[in-house]
Amino acid sequence: MTLDLFLLQLFTGLALGSIYVLVALGLSLIFGLLTIVNFAHGQFFMLGAYVGAFTLGFTGNFWLSLIVVPIVVGGIGMLCERFLVRPLYGRGIDYPLLLTYGLGLILLELVRIIAGTQGVPFNTPRLLAGAVDLHFFFFPKYRLFLIFATAVILLALWILLEKTSYGLIIRAGARDQEIVQVLGVDIGRVWLIVFGIGVAIAGIAGVLAAPIRGVFPEMGVPVLVEAFVVTVVGGMGSLLGAVIAGLLVGVTFSFTSFFYPEMATLSMFVLMALVLVFRPRGLFGRAGVLG
């Protein structure tokens, strides 16, 4: 493999991994604080793609869709947390898991009824069409934008969690919710915001992936599987693990696609199996996270 081909596959893997990072990040954020395995996460990803597609269709403005999607999808997620998920807190992990699985099926059927089963078009924005010369190779502008957009979202989330008082409350709530409540913090509001942020990130991932993957009702099903692979590899509830594992899975898929295309999908599961053999909790998982 020449240097230019190596770098091309590396950047392709990073662009693919960017989608994995965003989806797994929202999943890990929700699990890390609420200990909820959100089986509807893939459908929120799909919902983000549809909201973005309809916004683009009505306004013709791709950048506006990037603003509308997290607001709409995050708002729907907050309503689901408040009226559906919250009553199940404290009843064991199985109850919200089954509820979110059913919620995902409902969202899927609603989209099929409202938007049809054939999917909707979502073209690459004109400004990001074509390729850019990176000296060693030409690379699609939109995939380069994916990497940049993911980096911006990660930076914004890091600033929120590490540099703001509300981020301090979120991190404290993840460690000991009872102490946070004793200090007078409305932990219910924290849960609401965190769940909303988690599904909003999934929605953003959906609209960003739409020009590459297309927009159709079942698009969230494989993404949910991929997100769980990334989450398991990185460690359940670990945000750093979601980032590292997402990029690692993307690069692994990219290089496997180049050498053995028929093994590309299988490669991520092989990677997960290898990690679990040597690190049963994942790369950055904590002991007893489900306890």
pLDDT, mean of residues 93-112: 93
Structure tokens, 29: 């954020």
Distances (CA, A) of 22 to 15, 104, 134, 146: 11, 18, 25, 11
Neighbours of 216 (CB within 10 A): 19
pLDDT band at 100 (very low <50, low <70, confident <90, very high): very high
3-class SS of residue 40: coil
Most confident of 115-119, 129-133, 147-151, 161-165: 147-151
- Which amino acid is residue 127, in one-letter code? L
Q: Please list, in sequence order, all residues whose beta carbon lies within 8 angstroms of the beta carbon of residue 181, skipping any fewer than 6 positions away.
A: 187
Q: What is the mean pLDDT of residues 71-89?
A: 94
pLDDT score of 288 more than 60: no
Report the 10 Å Cβ neighbour count for 3.
Answer: 9
Tokens 């600033």 locate to 159
Q: Supply the mean pLDDT for the chain.
A: 90
- Closest to 249 measured CA to CA, from 52, 21, 6, 83: 21
The pLDDT, as a whole number, for residue 9 is 92
> Any alpha helices (H) in 214-263, and if so which ranges?
220-234, 239-259
Query: pLDDT band at 285, cuts 50/70/90?
Result: confident
Q: Three-state SS for 217?
A: helix
- For 91, the 3-state DSSP assignment is coil
Tokens of 150: 């993911």
Q: Which is nearest to 170 in space by CA: 136, 195, 147?
A: 195
Print burial letters for 59-78: b (CB count within 10 Å at least 16), e (below 16).
eeebeebeebbbebbbebbb
- pLDDT at position 153 is 95
Confidence of residue 15 (pLDDT cuts 50, 70, 90): very high
Q: 86 or 166: whose pLDDT is higher?
A: 86
Per-residue pLDDT tens digits for 219-255:
999 999 999 999 999 998 888 999 999 999 999 999 9
User: Are 272 and 279 within 8 A, CB to CB?
Assistant: no
Structure tokens at 42: 């893939």
Q: Please, what is the end-to-end C-alpha distance for the chain in angstroms?
A: 47
- 247/199 Cα distance (integer angstroms): 20
Greatest distance between any 2 Cα atoms in the chain = 60
The residue count for the chain: 291
Contact 44, 175 (CB under 8 A): no
What's the mean pLDDT in 49-54? 96
Please report, as a single letter, which amino acid is at residue 290.
L
C-alpha 245/C-alpha 249 separation (Å) is 6
- Sorting pLDDT into bands at 50, 70 and 90, what band is 290? very low
Report which secondary-structure segment, H or E, holds 132: strand 131-133
Helix axes 3-34, 220-234, angle to 10 degrees: 80
Q: Look at residue 174 in the predicted model and tell me its pLDDT.
A: 65
